[in-house]
Structure 1
Amino acid sequence: MADTIWAGPRWRRMGAALGLGALAALGQAPVGFAPATLVALALILWLMRGAPRWPAAAWFGWCAGTGYFLVALHWIVEPFLVDVARDGWMAPFALVFMAGGLALFWALAFGLSARRGPLLLGLALVLAEYLRSVVMTGFPWVLLGHIWIGTSVGQLASLFGAHGLTAITVLLACVPSLWPGRGSVRAAAGLAAAALVWGAATAWDATLPEIAPPADAPIVRLVQPNAPQDEKWQPGKAEMFFRRQLAFTAEGPRPDLTVWPETSVPYWLDQADAALELVTEASRGAPVVVGIQRRDWPRLYNSLLVLGETGGVADRYDKAHLVPFGEYIPFGGLLARFGIHGLAANEGGGYTPGPGGRTVDIAGIGPALPLICYEGIFAEEIGAVAPRPRFMLLITNDAWFGQVAGPYQHLAQARLRAIEQGLPMVRVANTGISAMIDARGRLVEIIPMGEAGWRDVALPPALPPTLYAHTGDGPVIWVLLAAFALNLLLARRKAIEPRQPVA
C-alpha cells in the first residue's frame, strides 16, 4: 500500500495525507475520540515508509499537518466573525495561514526523518510538537497528547506533562510499522500496545486516593454572565451584564470568595470607583476577583483585581502572555492603517504585557496563581511561579472562541494544568465553560456553555507537588533528543554500510 500510493499521482497521496490529518484531529475536544488519532497517525507513519526523498516526505508531512490543524482549529475563524464588517474578510486567511504555518513543524519532522524508519519519524514529530509550543511565543494548543485528557492515561501528565503524553501517543502509533509480519499482525500489535498502556494507566489511576474537600473548605462562587461577544461592549447591554453579575454576587449565602470572568467590569479602572463599590457591597464583605482593563497612558493592560473584604483593590495582576494578533499586533500602529487590528484590544497595538510570574493573596484562603485566558495553556510558565500557590485562578472570555470546539479545548487544557501541578483550579468564563477542577483534573462542578448563572463550590485541596511540578518538560525533552540523535546515527550508519556481495 505504501509503495502504491507513492507510485501513483501526487494528488492521491496529498489527499490521503490531508484526510488522515483531518481524521487525527477527531481525538481533540469536543469529539475526544482518541482511537481516531491513533489510527490516523499509524497510517500516516505506515505510508511514509514509501516516501522516495526528503522533499516528498516534507510535503506529505505538511499536508497531513494542514489537514489536522484545519479541523482541530477551525474555530479560529470565530473571533473574526464578531465584527464581520470590519474583520470578516480576514477569517479564511487566518484559518488557512495558521493551519499551513503550524504544519511547517510537521513538514520539518517528516523531511528530517525521510527513509529512516517510523521510530525516527515518531520521535521527530514529538519534538516538532514541542517546538511549536515554544517558538515565537509558542502555541501549545491541540498537542497530540491532549487526546488523553479526561482519561486515566491523562493522569500520567502528573509525571511527564503534555509532551510526555504526546510521546506516548506517537510511539503507540509507531508500533504497527515497527512490528514484523503481515498487516493484520501489525494492526493487532498496535491494538495490543494501546490496550496495555490503557490498562496500566487505568490500574494506576484506580490506586490514587479520592480527593475530598474538608468540612471547612472555602466556598468559591463562580459567576458566569453569558455576555455574547457582539453584545458585550454595547453601551446598554454592557450595563445589563454588569448588573447581572452584581445580582449573582448578592444572591444566596455569602461565600468565601466570588470570581467574575475576564474583562467583566465594563469600565477602565481609573473610571470604575463607583462600579467597584457596587461589587464590594454585593459581596457582603467577601473578597471578589474581577477582570478589568486599565490604562497607564500610553500603556493599556488586561488586568485581574482582588477586591478586599472592606473594599478597595487588595491586589492586582496584569496579564503577561498576550495573544498575538488578538491582544497585540506587532507594529500595530502601522498595520492599523491597513485595517488590521488586535481583536480583543483597542488602540492599534493593543495591550502591554505585565511582569507575570507571581501570586495574588486571597484573604482567608491563601495565595492563588492568577491566569488570564491564554496564559492557562503554557505549562512551563505556570510551573515556574514560586512559592507554590494554594490553587490556580483562571478568568477568561471564551466568547471569542464561539460555542463549538474552542471553549472545550481551552477547558481541556485547564484540566491538564491541574493534573500537572497537583493543584485545583477555579476557572470562570464569560459564556462558559466555568468550572471547579480538582487537583487530578476532574470536573467537580461546571456552568455549561451559553448559560447565565452562578455556582457555590467547595475548593478542593491541593496535592503534594507532582513529579512534573518538580522537573517540568526538561527531562522528557532531553530523553527524546537523545533518542532521536541515537536513532539518526544508527540510521546513517546503516545507510552507508557496504552491501555484502552475492555469491
Structure 2
Amino acid sequence: MKTLGHWLASPWRRSAAAAGAGALPVLAFPAPSLWWCAYVALVPWILLIRTAPTGKRAAYDGWWGGFGFMLAMHHWLLPNLHVFTFVIGALLGALWAPWGWLVRRLLGGLPSPGRIAAALVVLPSGWLAVELVRSWEGLGGPWGVLGASQWQVDPALRLASVGGVWLISFLLVLLNVAVAVLVAVPRARVPALAGLLATAAATSAAWVWSARPGVDERVAVAVVQPGVIQGRDSGDRRFDREEELTRRLAGQGVDLIVWGESSVGFDLGDRPDLARRLAALSRETGADILVNVDARRSDRPGIYKSSILVGPDGLTGDRYDKMRLVPFGEYVPARSLLGWATSVGEAAGEDRRRGSAQVVMNVGNGLHVGPMVCFETAFPDMTRHLTRAGADILIGQSATSTFQQSWAPQQHASLAALRAAETGRPMVHATLTGVSAVYGPSGQRIGPALGVDASTTRVYDIPLAHGTTPYVRFGDWTVLAALLVLAGWCAAEGGRALRLRRPAPEPRVLPARTVHGSPARPGR
C-alpha cells in the first residue's frame, strides 16, 4: 500500500493537493460563512509545503495553493470571464510562491526552537505582504483578504478597530502556523503554545482596552432595492420601480434615501425630466436622495459612475465620480495587450473614466455622508479617509446583479461590517438586486438584510458615533510592522549567509625552532 508520501511524489498530484489545500480558506467566507475554518484552514497547506524536497518545489506549492485560493474565491467570475478566470488565478497565485519558499525555509525538516519562534512572526508577515501587493487596484483589489472572513465575530471586529483587517489576517496566520507546528513538530510545543497564547492575549487586550465608539444620536436611512429588471428598456423600468418604492417612504420621517449602483442609467444633465422626478420625490418624502448614475456625461467625454445627491430643489451639486475601477469589469488593463479578454468573456468593451478625489456630502441637518461605489468598499484606506474628512455615515452603492446566484453578493455585503468596525462609523451597503445591509459603528448588523430575491425598501434606524478608532488614527501600522519584520529577517539571514561564506583564515606558518644554534629536526 502506497503511503501519502509516495502519492505526493508525482509533481502533478502534489500540485493538485496544493491547489485543494489552498482553496480551503474560502469556506470561512460567505456564503458558507464557516468563520471558524479560518483558524485551521491553512494548516494542510503549510504541512504540505514544509515537506517539499527543495525550495523550488516549495515555491511551486505556494503558487499552486495561491491559485486554488484565488480560483475558489473568484469562482463566480467563470460564467462571465470564462478561461480568463484561470489566467487571473494563476497570475495572482504566483504571489504566494515566495511565501511557500519561506514556509519550507522556517519549518522544513526538524526546525529548531529559534526557527519556529521566527516562523510565528515572519510567516504572518509574509502573508500580509502578499495581501498588500494583491490589494493594488490593478490586481483585483483586497477582495478575499483572510481577515475579512471574521466579519461576524465580535472580538475580531474589535481587533479591526485597532489594526484594520490586516491585524486579523496576521493573527489568523499566526494561529495556523502554531497549529501546524503542534501537529508536525511535537517537540516544539512550547513556542507553538506561546504563539497561541500571544494570539489570545492580543485578542483579549483589544476587547478590553480598545476604544468603543460613543453613540450620541440616531438617523433614519432608507435603502431602495428594485430587484432584477431585465430587457431592452430595463433602464426606464428600473427607474419607474425605484420611483414607486421611494414614494412609499412619504411620511416615515426618513433623513436620507439611498439607491444602488447604476440606479439611473442616463446622465441627468441630458434628462432634466428625470432630475425633476427625483426632486419631486425628495419633496414628497422630505429627504435627500443619493442616486448613482452610470452613463456617458454631457459635460465631458467618457462614461462615469457617479454618486449624485438630489434635494427638493433638484441637483444639489454634490457629486462623486468613482475612482477605483474593477479590472476587466469596468476597464481592461493594458488593453492593447489584454483586449482579447473581451472576445472570451464579458470584459468591458469601453473603459470607464475615473474620478479624482473622494467627497463628503452634506445631506442636511448637519449629517455628512461619504459615498463609495461598489468595488471601492473593499479598500480600507478609502473609508478611513472619508472618516478623517468628517463623514458620519459611510455609504456603498453596489450592483452585483451579474452574479446574482453566486456567493458574490453576500461576500460583498460582509465587507461593510469590517469597514464600519475599522472606522467606528456606521455603513450602508445599498444594492440594486441584493444583498443590501446596514452595519452599526462597531460592525454589528442593524436590522435584517435585503436578500437577492427582494424588491422593496426598508428604513434603518442607524446610531451615529463620535470619536476616533486607533485604526483611523494610526492607519495601516500592522502592514508597516510586517514589512519591517520581513526586512529584519532578510537582513539577519543575509548576515548569516555572509558569515558562512567568509573564507577561513590561512594557517600561520611559524619559523623553525633552533636547538643549540641548529635547526630542530623532526622528532627531536
Same fold (TM over 0.5): yes
Q: Residue 432 of structure 1 contacts residue 448 of structure 1 at CA under 8 Å; is this kept in 2?
A: yes
Distance in 2, Cα, partners of 1:166 & 1:459: 29
| 1:267 corresponds to 2:269 | no
Please point out which of 67, 91, 96 is paired with 1:106: 96
CA distance in 1, matches of 2:260, 2:56: 47
1:19-73 Cα shifts (integer Å, max 9, x gaps): 1112222112221223433323123223322223332111100111111112121
**Partner SS, residue 64 of structure 2:** helix
Q: Which residue of 2 aligns with 1:146?
A: 148
Distance 1:109 1:34, change over 3 A: same
The farther-off stretch of 96-105 and 195-204 is 195-204
Look up the match of 2:326: 323
Q: Does 1:176 align with 2:179?
A: yes
Does the CA-based 8 Å contact 1:145-1:169 persist in structure 2?
yes
SS at match of 2:105: coil
Is 1:57 aligned to 2:55, yes or no? no
Picking from 242, 245, 261, the partner of 1:245 is 242
- Inter-partner Cα distance in structure 1 for 2:61 and 2:405: 32
8 A contact 2:8–2:14 mirrored in 1? no
1:437-496 Cα distance to aligned partner (Å, 9 max, x none): 1111111022122211111112221241110101111x2122212222333444556676
Q: Is the partner of 2:218 in helix, strand or coil?
A: coil
CA contact 2:255–2:287 (8 Å) conserved in 1: yes
**2:208 and 2:338 mapped to 1: Cα distance?**
54
Q: Determine the structure 1 residue equivalent to 2:470.
A: 467
Measure the CA separation in 2 of the matches of 1:319 and 1:7. 48
Q: By how many angstroms is 1:168 displaced?
A: 0.5
For residue 303 of structure 1, what is the amino acid of its counterpart? S
Distance 1:267 1:103 in 2: 39
Partner Cα distance (2:437, 2:446) in 1: 7
Seen in structure 2, the aligned counterparts of structure 1 residues 96 and 479 have a Cα distance that, compared at 3 Å, is same
Alignment partners' CA distance in 1, 2:236 and 2:41: 49
2:438 is aligned to: 436
Structure 2 distance, partners of 1:149, 1:113, is 27
CA distance in structure 2 between the aligned counterparts of 1:208 and 1:455, rounded to whole angstroms: 32
CA distance in 2, matches of 1:439, 1:396: 20
Structure 2, unaligned runs of 5 or more: 108-115, 502-524
Q: Counterparts of 1:320 and 1:200 in 2: how far apart (Å)? A: 35
* Letter of the 1:223 counterpart: V
* CA shift digits 1:258-308 (9 cap, x unpaired): 111111123222332112222222231421111113413422211111001
Q: What does the per-residue CA deviation read over 1:387-415, in whole Å, with 9 as the maximum and x for residues that have no partner?
A: 22111111111213323211111111111
TM-superposed CA distance for 1:256, in Å, is 1.7
**TM (normalized to structure 2)?**
0.81
Contact 2:28 2:35 (8 Å CA) reproduced: yes
Supply the distance in 1 between the matched residues of 2:292 and 2:254 (Cα, whole angstroms). 19
From 392, 395, 398, the equivalent of 2:397 is 395
- SS of the aligned residue for 1:307 comes to strand
| TM-score, reference length from structure 1 | 0.85
Q: Does the CA-based 8 Å contact 1:221-1:255 persist in structure 2?
A: yes
Q: d(CA) in 2 for partners of 1:321 and 1:248? A: 30
The alpha-carbon deviation at position 432 of structure 1 amounts to 0.8
User: 3-state DSSP class of the match of 1:436?
Assistant: strand
**Alpha-carbon separation, structure 2, partners of 1:11 and 1:337:** 29
The whole-number CA distance in structure 2 between the counterparts of 1:492 and 1:213 is 51
Could you tell me whether the CA contact under 8 Å between 1:2 and 1:47 is conserved in 2? no
The equivalent residue for 1:221 is: 222
The residue that corresponds to 1:377 in the other structure is: 378
SS in 2 for 1:443: coil
Distance 1:128 1:99 in 2: 14
Q: Which range is displaced more, 166-175 or 243-252?
A: 243-252
Cα distance in 2 between the residues matched to 1:282 and 1:92 = 42
Alignment-derived partner of residue 46 in structure 1: 47
1:320-340 C-alpha deviation (Å, 9 max, x unpaired): 111121112246589779855
CA contact (8 A) 2:123 2:174 kept: no
1:66-92 deviation line (CA, Å, top 9, x unaligned):
1111212111235x2xxxxxxxxxx32
The amino acid that maps onto 1:93 is V
1:106-147: CA deviations, max 9, x gaps? 113223564233614443222111111137365111011122
> Contact 2:439–2:446 (CA<8 Å) still a contact in 1?
yes
Does 2:254 correspond to 1:255? Answer: yes
Contact 1:325 1:342 (C-alpha < 8 Å) held by counterparts: no
Q: CA deviation at 1:241?
A: 2.2
Distance 2:184 2:408 in 1: 41
1:234 is the counterpart of 2:232:
yes
RMSD: 3.3
- Amino acid paired to 1:260: W
3-state secondary structure, aligned to 1:459: strand
Pairs aligned (count):
478
Q: CA deviation at 1:196?
A: 7.7
Q: Higher mean Cα deviation, 288-297 or 187-196?
A: 187-196
For 1:127, what is the secondary structure of its paired residue? helix
Structure 1 residue 419: deviation in Å? 0.8
- In structure 2, the residue matched to 1:115 is 105
Q: Which amino acid aligns with 2:474?
A: T
Report SS of the residue matched to 2:303.
strand
Q: 1:412 to 1:458 in 2, by over 3 A?
A: same
Q: How many Å separate the matches in 2 of 1:394 and 1:266?
A: 18
8 Å contact from structure 2 (residues 142, 379) kept in 1: yes
Q: Structure 2: how far apart are the matches of 1:5 and 1:61?
A: 20
Quick check: 2:309–2:319 contact (8 Å CA) kept in 1?
A: yes
In 2, Cα distance between the equivalents of 1:453 and 1:202? Answer: 41
Identity %: 27
